[in-house]
Structure 1
């Protein structure tokens, strides 16, 4: 396609206008799939705009699956617009339906979840049901969670899971082009969320105690509108922030106006205490605590508590859609949280998950494969070659998550993420599993993986 031909058909030379004009041409079939588009610089010259304006339009089209940039062919048309997809998350562990051991998805062990029947019956008989009053959080649920919140929250909201809470906070805080600082590696779904919102991702390196202060200091120089991190049970690395590290991070954040979003993804299953920056910055910290893995994925419940203005923005955005989370589900969780037998059951599950993770880590360490981390439901396993390791494990009927899905840019060292919540408790089976993982990690027996 000639740049001049396309420029003639663009009435509004803004980024939005360029994207809209090309979208219309693709939809009506004037521009077909596999058409090679002009260069960014060439179209910018014809339109009399900056290259950045055209690049922004291309980014919007790319987000909706209409174009793709290839090294040799340049930018080509794929077809009409599609909904943005969580590409990283959708590509985790897809090696067919015949794999016998699923270590790709960090889902809880159903045998360790509390029964829901009594809690659902109690919640279904509560007062105030079937009322269109938009209740951000039921009194029973707030009473159940507030005493255990790590700092005084001025805003409260129940949402449909932890990732929805984090997504809505980012979406209502950042405009396209804004910067958000995040841990690296971090959750694949978080990267998908931020790319869909259209923000610039500023990675912050981590070690065993959480975000590295020097890395956060560099990120803050870019003036991010938010800093999103996991204070404990971090996925994929399994670190937990210590009080000492939290104090170092707080000293850096003291001089910024950045919103702090804390993602407590495994909540009560974590073996580490909650160390929250909200104790230092209650007016600009929001904690998102999920109860899916501890009390049941089908509850679809997370609680958002913290800075009033940030929580209010999320409430307003939700009013366009669901408006509020089911009061039945909220009070079901409240009942579970207040039941001594359920608390004992969750405590038992926490111990079982920690033991399973520790046993596999020890087995791998004995085979020359260090993993690190001390909390969570996953292991971050270094491997010599990611694609080869994935193929080796798949050939043995094992699916895992490729580490490349958890980083912003290609990493110098390869990793796999292994879910540990549903591991076997049979020592012989676990040893055999560790043998295969070590083989995949090292590329052969007796060869140590990179640390």
Structure 2
């Protein structure tokens, strides 16, 4: 049974009785070991009376500590200390790749092959000749990059902003436009780090079921009844499933959203490596759509570049929040990407990369089909494989020196699966990897099973 912390003892140590003061002092006491893990904290009303503040003040302080995964519980069951690490971090994402030293084939990270990325030498030299180099002017996007991206941009947006990668763009949106307790519709499954960001912001996640064409419109209509403030989805090649939103599905989603004022956020993480067009909901709702395109996977992760587009009022708020940190993205990197978007040799290399990734993915799909596991022809740097048990699948693969991503890292509900990266899969290991994957499904494949994810 948990030991109940003496409210008088805690009240004496809370010199500041603001939300921030209560939360930070309590966090320090936990971190220093003065409040042990497992200790039950005083009831909200009891502590509020001792401090002479509203119960809402103490409740808000406890909410901050819950978001940091320091305390847990609610209601009559009380709250107790569950951890002493008061620095928030992306819990799901940070556990990807920690598979020990016995991994022969790490297929957990769907990342680009360095050999298929364009040579940055000339591009960086061009970027270093930017006429605005070394200026402290905080412009949202370099004019050459804006000029380069606009002709192929899928949304007629009012404003644009360059950021330090796609995930920074998404984090800026989440941190700026969400408040604790806000409800957010997000496709299920989704990108691991997006779930971490929403948890950190204290948002309530409303998982949206998807099929091979993307989010399901009828399910979206039902979730809109819960008064969410944001809808997040990946508008083309999906990072977990490889699905892409069709033109018809985009139109159906627009109809589901017609009586709503919800903010739409589109995370185009794979960017120009996708083989599909983007059917953005910004075509229907430009006044409330934020579209994010990352250039890291197609042009190079060290470029750390993405672009957000959307209404000027929202980007102004995001830019204002950004002044706490980097303020702007390197003009060298922006103008390097602008040059590559116009460079014929770079674009030819990009076409080769798309073709090569498709061939590697196809080799694994064909190897699995020969063993009775039939997966659909989709896009991206990975394949999604349904399994009877993710735990069984991960143990089975680990015993054979193979690492994969369990579906639990990127889903809130739905069926169990693993994601296997194909972008760096060694050709000479495909047969043995396919054998292991078939065993890992834990299914009877004698009749030729088919994936429904």
Q: TM-score, normalised by structure 1?
A: 0.90
Q: How does 1:13-52 map to 2 (within 5 A)?
A: 18-26=22-30, 29=33, 31-38=34-41, 42-44=43-45, 47=48
Q: 1:107 to 1:67 in 2, by over 3 A?
A: same
Task: Select which of 54, 75, 83 maps to 1:78.
Answer: 83
Q: 1:130 to 1:100 in 2, by over 3 A?
A: same
Q: How does 1:59-74 map to 2 (within 5 A)?
A: 59-67=63-71
Q: Does 1:159 align with 2:163?
A: yes
Quote the Cα distance in structure 1 between the aligned partners of 2:31 and 2:431.
55
What SS does the corresponding residue of 2:286 show, helix, strand or coil? coil
Quote the Cα distance in structure 2 between the aligned partners of 1:290 and 1:319.
21
Residue by residue over 1:242-292, the C-alpha shift from the partner in whole angstroms, topping out at 9 and shown as x without a partner, is 111111110121211111111111111101111111111111111110111
Please say if residues 375 and 451 of structure 2, whose CA atoms lie closer than 8 Å, have aligned partners that are also in contact.
no
Partner of 1:415: 417
The Cα of 1:69 is off from its aligned counterpart by 6.0
What SS does the corresponding residue of 1:227 show, helix, strand or coil? strand
Quote the Cα distance in structure 2 between the aligned partners of 1:395 and 1:149.
46
Q: How does 1:362-441 map to 2 (within 5 A)?
A: 362-372=366-376, 374-409=378-413, 411=414, 413-426=415-428, 429-441=429-441
Quote the Cα distance in structure 2 between the aligned partners of 1:4 and 1:341.
69
Quote the Cα distance in structure 2 between the aligned partners of 1:385 and 1:52.
42
What SS does the corresponding residue of 1:283 show, helix, strand or coil? helix
Partner of 2:347: 343
Quote the Cα distance in structure 2 between the aligned partners of 1:450 and 1:202.
25
Please say if residues 271 and 354 of structure 1, whose CA atoms lie closer than 8 Å, have aligned partners that are also in contact.
no
Partner of 1:320: 324
Q: 1:47 to 1:101 in 2, by over 3 A?
A: same
Residue by residue over 1:381-420, the C-alpha shift from the partner in whole angstroms, topping out at 9 and shown as x without a partner, is 11122122112211211111111111125x4x32111111
The Cα of 1:122 is off from its aligned counterpart by 1.4
Residue by residue over 1:269-326, the C-alpha shift from the partner in whole angstroms, topping out at 9 and shown as x without a partner, is 1011111111111111111101111000000000111222222222111122111100
Measured on the aligned residues, the alpha-carbon RMSD in Å equals 2.8
The Cα of 1:33 is off from its aligned counterpart by 2.6
Q: 1:52 to 1:98 in 2, by over 3 A?
A: farther
The Cα of 1:3 is off from its aligned counterpart by 6.0
The Cα of 1:160 is off from its aligned counterpart by 0.5
Quote the Cα distance in structure 1 between the aligned partners of 2:375 and 2:22.
48
Partner of 1:266: 270
Quote the Cα distance in structure 2 between the aligned partners of 1:238 and 1:50.
49
Please say if residues 37 and 77 of structure 1, whose CA atoms lie closer than 8 Å, have aligned partners that are also in contact.
no
Q: 1:148 to 1:445 in 2, by over 3 A?
A: closer
Please say if residues 32 and 77 of structure 1, whose CA atoms lie closer than 8 Å, have aligned partners that are also in contact.
no
Q: 1:74 to 1:177 in 2, by over 3 A?
A: closer
Q: Which runs of 5+ in 2 are unaligned?
A: none
Q: 1:201 to 1:114 in 2, by over 3 A?
A: same
Q: Does 1:144 align with 2:148?
A: yes
Q: Does 1:295 align with 2:309?
A: no
Quote the Cα distance in structure 1 between the aligned partners of 2:437 and 2:17.
54
Residue by residue over 1:344-387, the C-alpha shift from the partner in whole angstroms, topping out at 9 and shown as x without a partner, is 11011111112222332233244333444622212111112212
Q: TM-score, normalised by structure 2?
A: 0.89
Q: 1:285 to 1:445 in 2, by over 3 A?
A: closer
Partner of 1:119: 123
Please say if residues 173 and 225 of structure 1, whose CA atoms lie closer than 8 Å, have aligned partners that are also in contact.
no
Q: Which runs of 5+ in 1 are unaligned?
A: none
Partner of 2:224: 220
The Cα of 1:47 is off from its aligned counterpart by 4.1
Partner of 2:97: 93
Q: 1:206 to 1:450 in 2, by over 3 A?
A: closer
Q: 1:275 to 1:378 in 2, by over 3 A?
A: same
The Cα of 1:332 is off from its aligned counterpart by 0.6
Counting matched residue pairs gives 442
Q: How does 1:229-308 map to 2 (within 5 A)?
A: 229-308=233-312
Q: 1:88 to 1:18 in 2, by over 3 A?
A: same
Q: Does 1:203 align with 2:213?
A: no
What SS does the corresponding residue of 1:379 show, helix, strand or coil? strand
The Cα of 1:423 is off from its aligned counterpart by 1.9
